[in-house]
Amino acid sequence: MKKWFLLLAALIVIIVAGQQLQKDELQIITDDSKQKQEDISNIVIEVDKEQVNIGDLLLINGQHQLHPQGIASDLVTIDREGASAAGFVLANDELKLSGEMLASFEAMIAAAELDNVNQFLLTSGYRSLEHQAQLYEQEGSDYALPAGYSEHNSGLALDISSTMSKMEVAPEGKWLQQHGAAYGFILRYPEHKQDITGIAYEPWHFRYVGLPHSLIMQDRDLVLEEYIDFLSEQKQLTIKANDKTYTITYYNYEPQLNINIEDHVSYEISGDNSGGIIVTTTMEGVE
């Protein structure tokens, strides 16, 4: 009973935080002239080459193949009973996907329920490389991607539909495009970015990139390809939203790369699958 209470409490926190992010104005600071404070205590993180191919911000497309170590390490399986209890429907008997992404998805649809949007149907999540290879062989290049070139192989992509109508017109599709970024999700293949993604419009395909990256991408109308380029050009930027300050720093990987991080902040490290390392630190409270 205690375990379920803690899970419920965590879910409520994510829902409330997401709702607040929908209301708050995103403040992006790209000025890199901020003076370093020499008296701040730091920890040093040694980054190895494998990290380039691991994390929530991996670029996976026709030019960037997913490495096996890039598959989400927290894959979980959810069945129809579990999905029903969480407020959505599965198209198949079970689905496997990143546990972190599943928690954010469940918080997101709980928030959608408050807006009376509640007919979510999950049709696809994680696919093994072997399964992807079979799909490619059966369906051909017009309907499937080779193994390692589909985001579904990472465990960080979801095909989300509606039980009522097609996603391009369904309330579920419209709600997700408007509010999904507050929970770390982006519409991966929008209609007006086909020349950049190389993929036709897919109103059902959502990718988890986490906060604050989804907020920046939505604010600046960037797809993942553009966002990685944006970070590599900016090198560092600070985001203020929902009483949190996020600092994102981009590094070009080189052997024996050591990264200094203030020891009183939380941090996440992700590769971009194209030679870069992205460090995101989070500090509670906004001045």
Q: What is the pLDDT of residues 232-245, one digit of tens each?
A: 999 999 999 888 99
Q: What would the pLDDT profile of 54-71 be if each residue is shown by its tens digit?
A: 999 999 999 999 999 999
pLDDT level of residue 2 (50, 70, 90 thresholds)? very low
Catalytic residue among 202, 225, 226, 262, which?
A: 202
**Burial of 116 from C-beta contacts in 10 A (0-12 / 13-18 / 19+):** exposed
Euclidean distance between the first and the last CA atom of the chain, given in angstroms as a whole number: 39
Mean pLDDT computed over every residue of the chain: 90
The CATH number covering residue 239 comes to 3.30.1380.10
Q: Is 202 a catalytic residue?
A: yes
Q: Say which amino acid occupies 154.
A: S
- Residue 238 CA to residue 146 CA, distance in Å, equals 37
Is the pLDDT at 189 greater than 80? The verdict is yes
**What integer is the mean pLDDT of 9-33?**
58
- pLDDT for the residue 151: 98
- pLDDT for the residue 27: 79
Is the pLDDT at 17 greater than 70? The verdict is no
Is the pLDDT at 143 greater than 80? The verdict is yes
**Strand pairing class (120-124; 244-252):** unpaired
**Structural domain tally of the chain?**
1
Range of the domain at 103: 2-284
Is the pLDDT at 83 greater than 70? The verdict is yes
